[in-house]
Structure 1
Amino acid sequence: MSLIDVGAPRLARNGLRFAFYGRVSTEDNQDPEASRNWQRSRALTLIEPAGGEIVAEYFDIGMSRSLPWKRRPRANDLLADLTKPNRGFDAIVIGEPQRAFYGGQFLLTMPVISHYGVGLWVPEVGGAIDPDSEAHELIMGVFGGMSKGERTRIKIRVRTAMAAQAKIEGRYLGGRPPYGYRLADLGPHPNPAKAADGKRLHQLEAHPDYAPVVKRIFAEYLRGRGFYAIAEALTRDGILSPSQADPGRNSHRTGEGWSKGAVKAILENPRYTGRQVWNKQRKDEVLLDVENVAEGYETKLRWNKEGSWVWSDKVVHEPLVSVTDFEATKKVRAAHGHDRTNRERTRTQHFYVFKSRLWCGLCGRKMQGQQNHGKPNYRCRYAKDYALANHVQHPDNVYVKEEDVLPILDKWLIKLFAPHRIGDTIRTMADNAAALAEPATAPEPDADAAAKVAECDAKLETYRAALEAGADPVTVSGWIAEINAKRAAAVASSATGRARANPQGRLSEEAITLMIQALGDIREVIQNATLEDKARVYDQLGLRLTYAPSTKTIRAEMNLDPNGRGVMVSVRGGT
């Protein structure tokens, strides 16, 4: 039985019908099948004496407990199924409260469950939760706090162990090898359990082709050459840049040559001195919305100050530069930057409504936000970042003002989604999807594909009903995107399914209509909402803007397809 299958509802013979919910994450370091089995067994032990049976199952795999229910796929499905009159179950049972609820999640989730007349059974309570009981609320709050504390203790133990391994043992703790090094095998992992799983220890060793390049970069910089001059010379000499040398692990890079940023990163990397260095970066959990804590957190990678880095006590791999030369390069950089390293630098956070949505039409790179005279602008500095040896015709800087783009874009969207034009807009999007769809191949038929498609279609109907009942449009839109992705995968696995349900392998007019309905009144948001709300709508529409400096025009594309195919509308207007 699949860990995430939901069985067809069956009537319990003697008592309540239950939906089982469980969760396992990578941080728990458990086998998903074993974890599911013991959680489900514990739930059955609770409900079977009362004549209950499990008729539906929702089990999240690889989902952190810190994520709220709406951001866990299977928990989100369970919340969606609560709205269905024929959901097939009367109550929810969980195997362990720490697995289901983290921090204050119980207080946010239980009112929703109770609203739809569904009970919640928990082993630690010995049966059903009484939503009006202060004692039950207190108990569940304690378990939520225990869950949060357990996760915190795990993080502390892991980080403390890794710091000791880096400092005392000089152990390589994973990650991408720095340019100029490659991984060497040191034998089986010292942990017997990990060794039994085939895990091995590794160490950095000098790469025969790229280690000399690193030495050249340090030598040229100490002779007075700048980042840009070094990058240009390396590209001209045909030397592979880091992204060209390892394209599989640098797919996010352009791979067009050496950038001055790549040179700078090499000069700032202390691991070239032969010592292992850990904790240069950290993961911070940041609230998605400070006005709505229930939305939960997102993880962001941030740089630590040099004083908190963990250095190995001894040299553990071949140095490519001496400590003396490495410290000398730091002094040169400090002098060029007017000793910035000795001054505290502060950054002001600015909101950019087109962040990650505006692209340069010359080089195809994302344009970066920048404040000019207190107003948001976007720029592309391709020629400043990459060596001229790439022969790309590109100005030093390409600028576009946000205030020039925003009103034109909004006017276009308001026109597209006007009540008398929205039908034509949807048909145009569907037709463009058909024109851009890739030729269908002939995969092996999947016997279960038709059932999966039918299940997805049923859920889409449920989401439509939820919209009409007044459910949150943003939340429902996320559900729809996820189900459309699953539906597309099922359709793609069946030739007969493709021919019947989606002849061109694309989103249908009905699917596009449903997704647009989930966004609510787009015109109202565009006309009256804050920039933050507009940005959310642009994100749901899959908006992509491409700026052509020569004609000073913007090309706007909308892509509602979760698989990223072909739902596109374009507009051209002077900025």
Structure 2
Amino acid sequence: MIDVGASRLARNGLRFAFYGRVSTEDNQDPEASRNWQKSRALTLIEPAGGVIVAEFFDIGMSRSLPWKRRPKANDLLAALTDPNRGFDAVVIGEPQRAFYGSQYSMTMPVFTHYGVGLWVPEVGGAVDPDSEAHDLIMSVFGGMSKGERNRVKIRVRSAMAAQAKIEGRYLGGRPPYGYRLADLGPHPNPGKAADGKRLHQLEPHPEYGPVVQRIFAEYLRGRGHYAIAEALTRDGILSPSQADPTRNRHRTGEGWGKSAVRAILDNPRYTGRQVWNKQRKDEVLLDVENVADGYETKLRWNEEGSWVWSDKIVHEALISVEDFEAAKQIRAAHGHDRKERERIRTKHTYVLRGLLRCGLCGRKMQGQQSGGKPHYRCRYPKDYALANHVQHPDNVYLKEEHLLPVLDSWLAKIFAPHRVGETIRAMAEQATTEAGPKAKAEPESDTARKLAECDAKLETYRAALESGADPVTVSGWIAEVKAERAAVLATARRIQPTPQVQMTDETINNMIQALGDMRVALQRAGREEKARLYSELDLRLTYEPGTKNIRAEMNLDPDINGVTASVRGGT
């Protein structure tokens, strides 16, 4: 937002846009972080007569994300292209928070192209893009930022491994089905205790704990996953997704599934020991051909040998170690001694992965190789024990080779050069019709007043803590106020009115040029490029097995740059 008053004050000096960032990794209060970063920026520019007239501050964004994937940084890049942007240069109070790895070398040329300067405290003023010394300094800070993040990850993971192994500490996450959390009192770290953090431990759930014991007992008696799931559903026992629907919105909630029974049988925490590091977060390149797009985080399973077990029993066991190992041996035998030979995994590209749904149950259809060719299937009744007996075949199959030619023909038809403008206008009109009323934003003064009240309470409680008040009581007060403050900020962000993008003739013409000749692009695109194109078009397909028809829906974002790369650059 441009500060008009500050802009008038800066008529005789430089006008600056301030950029900063804070994330959950930094473990800082967003407002406090913004204040000290802005204060550092002002200390740099005020001696030169500079004034900040615009602010761009990203909250909750990791430093590893490229600028185009941070909302406010992306807004700043867009503002650079506007000749009437209202500022002459950009000031950053902490370059290690703004630039990560090689991000400076990929961002600075954009500043230089549009004639916008970049000021940072580390060079004492404006960065000279032609100076090797400045380039080296900024590159070093990018490397330091990456190194700092990696060191934090290593320290945190090492500490958590030690806490799980030696102390058997519960390290967060949802409790396994059959357990619930028990409060063990304030956190041993005084700072965290003052913030309201508390220690927890698993204890058997009075309703679901016996269900876990029943699952193991029936499995050891020879019943299979599906038979157990069917019996639990028939007896009206809530499945994990039904017992905790708020954390399982991606599940159908119809009944017990084979996967839920299998997950319980595979979970060693039912033996009373804490087990950590079963999963890890990997950062995977979004596009191997374009490293500048950055990474996405994917959750993956670790090998059992890398799991961290507590040295002692730390919570009440639901299953004995002997029963757990016996169930494990049965599963291994059912796998035809799979553990004795190496499993060969072949990666298959499914062009419609995540885009195709079954019209009978609404679930996403899964990719399946059959006869060396890609198919899509829905095994809803095979995976879930349904108490309501949904009318659904055991398997719904669809060959990819039967669908893609029809789909490509439809896309080529509606995006033909003589029809593409009509198609885009029709989609824009439909989006406008379906758009709901916008929430009315709360006045900024009310939000500021509520935040000030919360801050005043926090100062009072901290003063009471320093004067010797009961830390447990005060920490509870602090936690309540912090939660109230976070709710105020979240509400302000949520109800902030979002201007609706108008489909002007210029926008439509730009999209027409970006889409190019869809027919030629589809003919030349490989499988991966075609999959990326479908995803960029926000294509959604529903297969009706009875009529063997496909219902297709699509949405085009006016910012069609990503589609341009997929259509033209992917051939």
Provide, for residues 498-529 of structure 1, a one-character-per-residue CA deviation record: whole Å limited to 9, x for no partner. Answer: xxx98xxx986879848945853261533433
Give the counterpart letter for 1:10 in structure 2.
Answer: S
Cα deviation, residue 325, structure 1:
0.4
Q: Confirm or deny that 1:521 pairs with 2:516.
A: yes
Q: 1:18, 1:91 within 8 Å by CA — same for their partners in 2?
A: yes
Paired with 2:30 and 2:443, the residues of 1 have a C-alpha distance of: 26
Q: Confirm or deny that 1:180 pairs with 2:182.
A: no
The 1:34–1:420 alpha-carbon spacing in structure 2 relative to 1, beyond 3 Å, is: same
Paired with 1:539 and 1:420, the residues of 2 have a C-alpha distance of: 24
Match of 1:163 in 2: 161
Cα deviation, residue 113, structure 1:
1.1
Q: Confirm or deny that 1:260 pairs with 2:258.
A: yes
Cα deviation, residue 421, structure 1:
2.3
Paired with 1:363 and 1:400, the residues of 2 have a C-alpha distance of: 15
Give the counterpart letter for 1:555 in structure 2.
Answer: R
Paired with 1:270 and 1:529, the residues of 2 have a C-alpha distance of: 46
Paired with 1:236 and 1:511, the residues of 2 have a C-alpha distance of: 60
Give the counterpart letter for 1:274 in structure 2.
Answer: G
Equivalence map 1:23-172=2 (5 Å): 23-172=21-170
1:289 to 263, 287, 290: 287
The 1:525–1:447 alpha-carbon spacing in structure 2 relative to 1, beyond 3 Å, is: farther
1:306 to 293, 304, 307: 304
Match of 1:546 in 2: 542
The 1:139–1:426 alpha-carbon spacing in structure 2 relative to 1, beyond 3 Å, is: closer
Paired with 2:107 and 2:441, the residues of 1 have a C-alpha distance of: 40
TM-score norm. by structure 2 comes to 0.84
Paired with 2:440 and 2:141, the residues of 1 have a C-alpha distance of: 48
Give the counterpart letter for 1:19 in structure 2.
Answer: A
Give the counterpart letter for 2:97 in structure 1.
Answer: R
Q: 2:160, 2:171 within 8 Å by CA — same for their partners in 1?
A: yes
| Aligned residues with identical type, % of pairs | 75
Q: 1:257, 1:390 within 8 Å by CA — same for their partners in 2?
A: no
Cα deviation, residue 47, structure 1:
1.4
Cα deviation, residue 53, structure 1:
1.6
The 1:147–1:445 alpha-carbon spacing in structure 2 relative to 1, beyond 3 Å, is: closer
Cα deviation, residue 96, structure 1:
1.6
Provide, for residues 522-558 of structure 1, a one-character-per-residue CA deviation record: whole Å limited to 9, x for no partner. Answer: 6153343333333333223221100111111111011
The 1:105–1:444 alpha-carbon spacing in structure 2 relative to 1, beyond 3 Å, is: closer
Cα deviation, residue 332, structure 1:
0.3
TM-score norm. by structure 1 comes to 0.83
Cα deviation, residue 489, structure 1:
6.0
The 1:122–1:529 alpha-carbon spacing in structure 2 relative to 1, beyond 3 Å, is: same
Cα deviation, residue 219, structure 1:
0.5
Q: Confirm or deny that 1:348 pairs with 2:338.
A: no
Q: 1:526, 1:534 within 8 Å by CA — same for their partners in 2?
A: yes
Q: 1:14, 1:52 within 8 Å by CA — same for their partners in 2?
A: no
Equivalence map 1:194-205=2 (5 Å): 194-205=192-203
Cα deviation, residue 376, structure 1:
2.0
Match of 1:382 in 2: 380
Q: 1:542, 1:559 within 8 Å by CA — same for their partners in 2?
A: yes
Match of 2:397 in 1: 399
Cα deviation, residue 153, structure 1:
0.6
Paired with 1:515 and 1:238, the residues of 2 have a C-alpha distance of: 57
Q: 1:19, 1:89 within 8 Å by CA — same for their partners in 2?
A: yes
Paired with 2:21 and 2:497, the residues of 1 have a C-alpha distance of: 28
The 1:431–1:45 alpha-carbon spacing in structure 2 relative to 1, beyond 3 Å, is: closer
User: Which secondary structure does the structure 2 equivalent of 1:10 belong to?
Assistant: helix
Give the counterpart letter for 1:537 in structure 2.
Answer: L
Provide, for residues 478-505 of structure 1, a one-character-per-residue CA deviation record: whole Å limited to 9, x for no partner. Answer: xxxxxxxx9996558xxxxxxxx98xxx
Q: 1:163, 1:310 within 8 Å by CA — same for their partners in 2?
A: yes
Give the counterpart letter for 1:239 in structure 2.
Answer: I
Task: Report the aligned-residue RMSD.
Answer: 2.6
Match of 1:530 in 2: 526
Match of 2:272 in 1: 274
Cα deviation, residue 392, structure 1:
1.8
Cα deviation, residue 343, structure 1:
3.2
Q: Which moved more, 1:56-65 or 1:381-390?
A: 381-390
Cα deviation, residue 213, structure 1:
0.8
User: Which secondary structure does the structure 2 equivalent of 1:113 belong to?
Assistant: helix
Equivalence map 1:206-217=2 (5 Å): 206-217=204-215
The 1:488–1:320 alpha-carbon spacing in structure 2 relative to 1, beyond 3 Å, is: closer
Cα deviation, residue 400, structure 1:
1.0
The 1:491–1:188 alpha-carbon spacing in structure 2 relative to 1, beyond 3 Å, is: closer
Q: 1:102, 1:147 within 8 Å by CA — same for their partners in 2?
A: yes
Q: Confirm or deny that 1:247 pairs with 2:250.
A: no
Give the counterpart letter for 1:74 in structure 2.
Answer: K
Q: 2:441, 2:496 within 8 Å by CA — same for their partners in 1?
A: no
* 5+ residue gaps, structure 1: 449-485, 493-500, 563-575
Q: 1:426, 1:512 within 8 Å by CA — same for their partners in 2?
A: no
Q: Confirm or deny that 1:10 pairs with 2:7.
A: yes
Q: 1:241, 1:255 within 8 Å by CA — same for their partners in 2?
A: yes
User: Which secondary structure does the structure 2 equivalent of 1:49 belong to?
Assistant: helix
Paired with 2:194 and 2:442, the residues of 1 have a C-alpha distance of: 36
Paired with 1:557 and 1:515, the residues of 2 have a C-alpha distance of: 22
Equivalence map 1:423-502=2 (5 Å): 423-433=421-431, 436=434
Match of 1:370 in 2: 368
The 1:422–1:103 alpha-carbon spacing in structure 2 relative to 1, beyond 3 Å, is: same
Cα deviation, residue 425, structure 1:
2.4
Paired with 1:16 and 1:44, the residues of 2 have a C-alpha distance of: 12
Provide, for residues 361-396 of structure 1, a one-character-per-residue CA deviation record: whole Å limited to 9, x for no partner. Answer: 111100111222332221111121112544122222
User: Which secondary structure does the structure 1 equivalent of 2:219 belong to?
Assistant: helix
Paired with 1:192 and 1:390, the residues of 2 have a C-alpha distance of: 53
* 5+ residue gaps, structure 2: 445-491, 559-571
**Paired residue total:** 508
Q: 2:119, 2:125 within 8 Å by CA — same for their partners in 1?
A: yes
Cα deviation, residue 221, structure 1:
0.5
Cα deviation, residue 52, structure 1:
1.6
